[in-house]
Structure 1
């Protein structure tokens, strides 16, 4: 019995060495994946950007300078120097259900990869214990009168290993690893989208508060003007028509407040949900435009680096990688499949005899499966995998084009925002001076009331438009950081920023 065991161990070791050599020598069918090259361009726009944007009076009118090639900090929103905004975003990283879902999806993909790697790259080893009660009929042996009842006990260890000669298993693992990469980039995209959405919503809230404050001030001034007109009418100095026109103007001005208040409530509710809070949460900070500082230096990644920074581009690259690996899986399915197996154990009629030397049993085996005819199924699966790869490649190129469009739009928007704010500030100054002058002339009878009414309307429009133009500079600055990828790759150097997985 000892000799049998030695021969089994020797044969098992020889098979193990053979397994390893075969696996190492095995090829991997299908394409070896390489990420597509970056677009051959050194600019985002067809015409050069100015060295810096136009300037206008006020904190929102500072000129901004583009810094090509300068890196973006991971916590890019801190460049606005708004402590409540920074606190809210960091709370959202912890409380947001969208981030929690993306984190769970990443863990699921990782564990799926680990499970598949452990179950396919290594031999499967199972221990088995069994007990059966059997009745033997002698008819099978030509002895009809022979019957026997007995118990049968067995204990064994079974080893099975599928040789990955043509790399199908490794291609499957490659596809699963690409899925892990995809979910990792999706998590970074969730961080980026959430932080950008919170900044945009906070700026929108601040803009709406500015518009509401301006509208209420204008309404108050118009009420005062109405009171003056009413006294003049009582004294016979103006007609009833002038009083009614002023009343109409006051009512129209106040009618613009409810829609603004509704938008403000919606912006607040959106902020709360983005931060993982209920809309009724009273701890949500209030945002105003004077709480933000406009970043005067804007880091602009080089076009060649954008494809390695945008989470959506990297996620599309991972999908393309996965599709490439699936071509290899479909190709390997057309080649022979080799499986080796071995078992070692004992079998006896009583439990006490199971572990005796004479009860030992063992086996070695191998099988080779070569697909011969499947009605064109395997060839069709390969062609389908190749078509899926072509689809993923087209989607990747579309993602890259849209990313470059986002950056180009944001850069041009910042340039136009600065010019627009300067023009809007000039218009506001002109409307304010015109209103003051017209009021003075109206008091001495130099102009008609219609001229005063027209000056009031122009001033009201410029005040609201000025608040909107100021907010656009902050919002489009955040849009640029989002379009460039948000700087998540620098997370290790920014405590509290979203960590890479």
Structure 2
């Protein structure tokens, strides 16, 4: 008795359907540091530990309700973020299209025609009418069993690209949030600069009034009077410059939150931002949650799956097709036995000669994988550099701010001594102008350092993908 081969063939097809020609995937290796090189006054950073949870509202570290309100408005109304969200939706829809290839495709068709055939049609029978009706209705089915994993690898690549698009959306969101936080820090710094200059203007105006009285009493020279006038005018010009910079910064914030610059206004800040402390234990594993790194890794996975797609093109492509329907010449039941038609069978497509196209496609897939892997490594190295940069900035700026505070204290004391000596007639007004100028520069320098500290803090938070676990 001949053995039955049908069960064996079915088992073989099922086994082949689980086949994939994509290489085994591994995340590209990058040597991450066990700890960061930069140190703080508390000591070195500790070795890497498991990653914390991403802080969804990392800007709350700065304890400013107005910044929180602006960030919420950005999430709701920023047009660039809306565009990134639409791009993500498109990637999701494309991935769903690829998933459809895993299932049988069934379609229905129908037509009712009145048509005439040519009198000179080849092989036309003598009894065939010239004009007749043709009614057709039917179903068609096609299914690719995907023996070599081509479709499954396309689906895997599409899913990975959709995940990368989700990470791109997170990158866009984090970047816009960083821009808004940085602009808000700069705006607060300009408000502080304006307050310092306004206070100096009051002091300079009083000094000018004193000098004018002394000049009228022939105690001070006209040179002292012109120096006081020049000093006041220079401070007013500096204040005008700060106002102009604040307007530009305010306009940029308005664009980020989706409002026209003509309508957007922010009152002057009355309270300085809180500089959040950096935890001593800052693991390098936090870098792995950066959305740009996650997106780069997903694209490496997609490129690896595309190698499987390119390899599968070398093998025979099997598909199953089926037709079922009915056809009449204008009358009769379409479903009657005599009017039915059907077809069922496999279709095999095997490449024989393509001029090197398949070989070139596979080389291209391998090259794109190497490109994606190199880009991933570059993103990781960039992330490490950004963290180190901002850690170093925070350390150096803190020490610089302490030294600058000592300079401010000394300059303010010198200013007081110079004014007292001038009123006593012991020195010229040049000494007062010099002391006041140095004191103003020292105060503005200290405030600029404080702004740079806050900007470095924002940079560190975003370099880590959104800060660290609250209470760390």
TM-score, normalized by length of structure 1? 0.85
Query: 1:427 maps to what in 2?
Result: 407
Query: 1:61 maps to what in 2?
Result: none
Q: 1:206 to 1:184 in 2, by over 3 A?
A: same
Q: Are residue 339 (structure 1) and residue 319 (structure 2) matched?
A: yes
Aligned residues: 461
Match of 2:19 among 12, 21, 27: 27
Q: Deviations over 1:241-274 (max 9, x none)?
A: 2222222222222111222111101111111111
Give the secondary-structure state (helix, strand or coil) at the position aligned to 2:306. helix
Q: 1:110 to 1:71 in 2, by over 3 A?
A: closer
Query: 2:368 maps to what in 1?
Result: 388
Q: Are residue 350 (structure 1) and residue 330 (structure 2) matched?
A: yes
Match of 2:418 among 438, 443, 451: 438
Q: Work out whether residues 292 and 379 of structure 2, in 8 Å CA contact, stay in contact via their aligned partners in 1.
A: yes
Q: Are residue 109 (structure 1) and residue 91 (structure 2) matched?
A: yes
Moved more, 102-111 or 133-142: 133-142
CA distance in 2 between partners of 1:406 and 1:414 (Å)? 12
Q: 1:197 to 1:391 in 2, by over 3 A?
A: same
CA distance in 2 between partners of 1:66 and 1:206 (Å)? 33
Q: Work out whether residues 28 and 377 of structure 2, in 8 Å CA contact, stay in contact via their aligned partners in 1.
A: no
CA distance in 2 between partners of 1:86 and 1:304 (Å)? 27
Q: 1:145 to 1:367 in 2, by over 3 A?
A: closer
Q: Work out whether residues 206 and 287 of structure 1, in 8 Å CA contact, stay in contact via their aligned partners in 2.
A: yes
Query: 1:58 maps to what in 2?
Result: none
Give the secondary-structure state (helix, strand or coil) at the position aligned to 2:110. strand
Match of 1:127 among 98, 108, 116: 108
TM-score, normalized by length of structure 2? 0.90
Give the secondary-structure state (helix, strand or coil) at the position aligned to 1:163. coil
Query: 1:182 maps to what in 2?
Result: 164
CA distance in 1 between partners of 2:13 and 2:267 (Å)? 67
Match of 2:341 among 337, 342, 361: 361
RMSD over aligned Cα, in angstroms? 2.8
Query: 2:451 maps to what in 1?
Result: 471
Give the secondary-structure state (helix, strand or coil) at the position aligned to 1:256. helix
Moved more, 461-470 or 141-150: 141-150
Q: 1:345 to 1:422 in 2, by over 3 A?
A: same
Query: How far 1:451 sits from its partner (Å)?
Result: 1.9
Q: Work out whether residues 287 and 464 of structure 2, in 8 Å CA contact, stay in contact via their aligned partners in 1.
A: yes
Query: 1:166 maps to what in 2?
Result: 148
Q: Deviations over 1:297-335 (max 9, x none)?
A: 54864113412x101111111222222222222222222
Query: 1:50 maps to what in 2?
Result: 41
Give the secondary-structure state (helix, strand or coil) at the position aligned to 1:156. strand
CA distance in 2 between partners of 1:92 and 1:142 (Å)? 73
Q: Deviations over 1:220-257 (max 9, x none)?
A: 21122122222222222222222222222222221112
Q: Work out whether residues 84 and 285 of structure 1, in 8 Å CA contact, stay in contact via their aligned partners in 2.
A: no
Q: Work out whether residues 438 and 451 of structure 1, in 8 Å CA contact, stay in contact via their aligned partners in 2.
A: yes
Q: Give ranges in structure 2 of 5+ residues lacking alignment.
A: 1-5
Query: 1:236 maps to what in 2?
Result: 218
Q: Are residue 376 (structure 1) and residue 356 (structure 2) matched?
A: yes
Match of 1:246 among 192, 212, 228: 228
CA distance in 2 between partners of 1:224 and 1:51 (Å)? 46
CA distance in 2 between partners of 1:71 and 1:221 (Å)? 51
Q: Work out whether residues 301 and 484 of structure 1, in 8 Å CA contact, stay in contact via their aligned partners in 2.
A: no
CA distance in 2 between partners of 1:164 and 1:355 (Å)? 33
Match of 1:207 among 189, 211, 221: 189
Q: Are residue 197 (structure 1) and residue 179 (structure 2) matched?
A: yes
CA distance in 2 between partners of 1:112 and 1:342 (Å)? 27
Q: 1:455 to 1:42 in 2, by over 3 A?
A: same
Q: 1:68 to 1:388 in 2, by over 3 A?
A: closer
Query: 1:454 maps to what in 2?
Result: 434
Match of 2:247 among 265, 277, 285: 265
CA distance in 1 between partners of 2:76 and 2:437 (Å)? 47
Query: 1:288 maps to what in 2?
Result: 269
Q: Work out whether residues 460 and 467 of structure 2, in 8 Å CA contact, stay in contact via their aligned partners in 1.
A: no
Moved more, 203-212 or 234-243: 234-243
CA distance in 2 between partners of 1:127 and 1:248 (Å)? 89
Moved more, 190-199 or 408-417: 190-199
Query: How far 1:414 sits from its partner (Å)?
Result: 1.2
Query: 2:31 maps to what in 1?
Result: 39
CA distance in 2 between partners of 1:71 and 1:146 (Å)? 79
Q: For 1:320-335, what aligned pairs fall within 5 Å after superposition?
A: 320-335=300-315
Query: How far 1:277 sits from its partner (Å)?
Result: 1.6
Q: 1:218 to 1:350 in 2, by over 3 A?
A: same
Q: Work out whether residues 28 and 376 of structure 2, in 8 Å CA contact, stay in contact via their aligned partners in 1.
A: no
Query: How far 1:134 sits from its partner (Å)?
Result: 4.6
